[in-house]
Amino acid sequence: MADIRAQYDQLAQKNREELDKYWSQQIEESTTVVTTQSTEVGAAKTMLTELRCTVQFLEIELNSMRNLKASLENSLREDFNLGDALDSSNFMETIQKTTTCWIVDGKVVSETNDTKILRH
């Protein structure tokens, strides 16, 4: 009977050790997966932030270009109207408009417009 009890205790100890080893491996693998996924989530968040900044910058750039286009179209309309009125004279007039935007962190912090009239 003592022999059977010793075998039982030995088998029970072996099973406990195998279970401990198994659960240790499971915990280690889970920790590795969680760490990897956390790193990937962090990288994705960083990329998302960068893409949002890029989109914001491009939207600002697009609006600036639309404003510039409208301004140039107005200038052309004004030039043609002036040209019709001044057809009899022999000079030419060029209107040069420059828009400068200072962008910091994807936001316009300063915008200047400059207009020059050049007569030829």
Separation CA 69–CA 80 (nearest Å): 16
pLDDT of residue 51: 92
Domain, as residue range, for 102: 2-119
| Residue 83 confidence class, pLDDT cut points 50, 70, 90 | low
Number of domains in the chain: 1
Query: What secondary structure letter does DSSP report for 109?
Result: E
pLDDT of residue 7: 93
Nearest CA to 97 out of 119, 117, 115, 74 is that of: 115
Q: Which amino acid is at 109?
A: V
Tokens representing 86 are 């001044």
Query: What secondary structure letter does DSSP report for 105?
Result: T
pTM: 0.47
- Grouping H, G, I as helix, E, B as strand and the rest as coil, residue 24 is helix
Arithmetic mean of pLDDT, 85-101: 66
Mean pLDDT (the chain, rounded): 84
